[in-house]
C-alpha cells in the first residue's frame, strides 16, 4: 500500500489531490495493523481531499480504522471512553484550549455505541448508547455522535484551526495572522469547501511574496517523490523506498502518534540532513549507503537503544536506472550559456540561488548530457533543494 501510494504521487497528473491527501493523512493520523481498514480510510481521505471538510470529518469519524485507533469500540454507556471524543476536538476540529474537560466527557457519552462489525462496517449499537441529556459547548440536548460533529462544525474556531494548518502546509510555517484570519472566515462562510479555500490561497497576492517562497522544509515523502518526479527512474528494489522513509522519519500509514508528524524543523537533525543531501547521489551513482533507520519507540515499547543496535541496512544506488534522455529533452531548446540558470530554475523552488562559481567546480563539462546530469544531481544535493 505504501509503495502503491508513492507511485501514485510520482506518476499522477492530479498533483493537488495527491498533495492534499498527504496533508489529510497527517491531519487524520491513524496507525493500525489492519491494512483493509487503512486502505478504506485512505480512500475516504482521497475522495474528500478537495471536497467538503465536514463530509470528510464525518466519514473519517465513522471509519473502522479511526474507531479502532481511538478506542471508540470500547465506548459504552456507563463506561465511556474519552479518547475518540478528545482527539476529535483537540486534533481534528477546534484545537487544544477551546473546550473544557466536561465537554470531552459529555461528547464521549454522545459517541457511545459508535462501533464497527466483523465486516468492517460502521454500526450504531443502540443498547450501548447513552440516551441521557448532555451539555456540550454550551448547548444541551439528547446528543449523539452526529450532533457533536455538527456542533463542532458550527464553531468558527474549527474553520480557523483547519485553515491555519493548511496555511502552514502551503504558505509558510510562520503564520501571518491577518491573512490567516481572512482565510478562516472565508472557509467558514464557504461551508468548509476545501477547493475554495485553496483557491483563496493561490489567488492571493501574498501567496507569491518572496518571504513565502522556499521557506518550508520538504517532508521526507515530498522530497523522495519530488526527486522521482523530476528524474524518471526504475528501481530494482522498490522496497528501498521504505527504508529511506524510515531513516528520514516519515513512513506512510505509520504516523508517530495521533497528532501526526510535527513537520517543520522537526524533519531535520544532524543525521537526517546528511542523508537527505546524499540521496540524489545515491540514486544516480553506483553508490552504497549504510542507513540506520530511526527507532520507533511507540512500537518498540521503550527498547530504543537495543532496537537501534539491531536495525541497520544498506541501499545500493546503482540499482536505480534514471532515464537521462527524458531529462535532457526538457532542456534541449536552452542555449548552452543559459543552461545552468534554466536547470537551477527547474530544480530549485527557492529565491536564493546556489553560486555558479561553486557549482562550476563540480560540473562535468565533457558533453552537454554530462553537464545536465551533473548540474541536476549537484543542485538536488544542496540545502536549497530541501525547501519549497
Smallest Cα–Cα separation from 229: which of 129, 107, 327, 350? Answer: 327
Calpha distance 64→318 (Å, rounded) = 42
What is the reported pTM?
0.93
Calpha distance 317→188 (Å, rounded) = 48
Same domain assignment for residues 10 and 149: yes
Contact 68, 87 (CB under 8 A): no
pLDDT at 350 (0 to 100): 81
Q: Which residues pair with 124 in a beta bridge?
A: 114
Q: Give the contacts of 190 (CB within 8 A, at least 6 positions apart).
A: 196, 197
Domain range holding 340?
Answer: 324-386
Same domain assignment for residues 168 and 248: no
pLDDT at 318 (0 to 100): 47
Dihedral sign, CA of 186, 190, 193, 195?
negative
Helix (H) or strand (E) holding 321: strand 320-322
Same domain assignment for residues 52 and 174: no
Tell me how many domains the chain contains. 4
Residue where one domain finishes, among candidates 212, 240, 259: 212
Work out the number of other CB atoms within 10 angstroms of the CB of residue 179: 21
Task: Report helix, strand or coil for 176.
Answer: coil
Same domain assignment for residues 175 and 102: no
Residue where one domain finishes, among candidates 131, 154, 177: 154
Same domain assignment for residues 130 and 238: no
Same domain assignment for residues 147 and 24: yes
Same domain assignment for residues 129 and 46: yes
pLDDT at 368 (0 to 100): 96
Same domain assignment for residues 201 and 168: yes
Residue where one domain finishes, among candidates 271, 297, 322: 322
Report CA dihedral (55, 61, 64, 67) to the nearest 10 degrees: 180
Which residues of the chain register pLDDT less than 50?
300-311, 317-318
pLDDT at 303 (0 to 100): 44
pLDDT at 298 (0 to 100): 56
In whole angstroms, how far apart are CA 238 and each of 22, 38, 39, 233, 320? 20, 21, 20, 11, 9
Same domain assignment for residues 282 and 365: no
Same domain assignment for residues 36 and 101: yes
At residue 380's C-alpha, the angle toward residues 377 and 382, to 5°, is 115
Same domain assignment for residues 244 and 278: yes
Same domain assignment for residues 173 and 227: no
Amino acid at each position: 500500500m505504501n509503495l502503491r501510494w508513492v507511485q501514485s504521487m510520482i506518476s499522477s497528473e492530479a498533483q493537488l489531490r495527491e498533495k492534499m491527501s498527504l496533508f489529510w493523512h497527517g491531519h487524520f493520523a491513524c496507525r493500525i495493523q489492519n491494512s483493509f481498514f487503512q486502505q478504506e480510510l485512505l480512500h475516504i481521505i482521497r475522495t474528500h481531499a478537495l471536497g467538503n471538510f465536514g463530509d470528510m470529518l464525518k466519514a473519517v469519524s465513522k471509519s473502522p480504522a479511526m474507531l479502532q485507533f481511538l478506542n471508540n469500540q470500547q465506548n459504552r454507556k456507563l463506561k465511556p471512553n474519552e479518547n475518540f471524543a478528545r482527539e476529535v476536538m483537540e486534533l481534528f476540529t477546534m484545537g487544544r484550549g477551546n473546550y473544557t474537560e466536561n465537554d470531552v466527557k459529555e461528547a464521549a457519552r454522545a459517541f457511545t455505541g459508535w462501533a464497527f462489525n466483523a465486516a468492517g462496517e460502521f454500526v450504531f449499537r443502540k443498547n450501548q448508547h447513552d440516551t441521557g441529556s448532555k451539555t456540550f459547548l454550551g448547548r444541551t440536548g439528547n446528543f449523539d455522535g452526529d450532533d457533536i460533529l455538527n456542533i463542532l462544525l458550527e464553531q468558527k474556531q474549527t474553520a480557523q484551526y483547519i485553515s491555519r494548518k493548511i496555511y502552514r502546509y502551503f504558505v509558510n510555517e510562520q503564520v501571518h495572522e491577518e491573512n490567516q484570519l481572512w482565510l478562516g472566515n472565508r472557509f467558514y462562510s464557504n461551508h468548509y469547501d476545501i477547493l475554495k479555500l485553496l483557491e483563496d490561497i493561490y489567488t492571493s497576492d501574498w501567496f507569491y511574496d518572496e518571504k513565502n517562497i522556499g521557506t518550508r522544509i520538504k517532508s521526507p515523502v515530498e522530497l523522495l517523490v519530488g526527486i522521482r518526479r523530476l528524474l524518471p527512474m526504475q528501481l530494482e528494489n522498490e522496497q528501498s523506498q521504505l527504508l529511506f522513509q524510515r531513516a528520514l522519519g516519515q513512513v506512510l500509514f505509520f504516523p508517530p502518534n495521533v497528532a501526526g508528524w510535527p513537520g517543520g524543523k522537526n524533519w531535520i537533525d544532524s543525521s537526517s540532513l546528511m542523508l537527505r543531501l546524499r540521496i540524489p547521489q545515491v540514486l544516480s551513482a553506483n553508490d552504497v549507503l549504510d542507513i540506520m533507520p530511526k527507532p520507533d519507540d511507540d512500537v518498540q515499547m521503550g527498547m530504543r537503544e537495543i532496537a537501534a543496535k539491531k536495525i541497520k541496512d544498506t541501499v545500493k544506488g546503482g540499482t536505480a536506472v534514471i532515464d537521462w534522455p527524458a531529462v535532457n529533452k526538457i532542456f534541449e531548446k536552452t542555449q548552452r550559456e543559459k543552461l545552468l540558470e534554466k536547470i537551477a530554475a527547474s530544480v530549485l523552488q527557492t529565491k536564493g540561488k546556489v553560486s555558479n562559481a561553486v557549482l562550476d567546480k563540480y560540473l562535468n563539462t565533457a558533453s552537454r548530457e554530462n553537464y545536465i546530469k551533473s548540474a541536476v544531481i549537484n543542485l538536488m544535493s544542496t540545502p536549497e533543494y530541501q525547501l519549497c
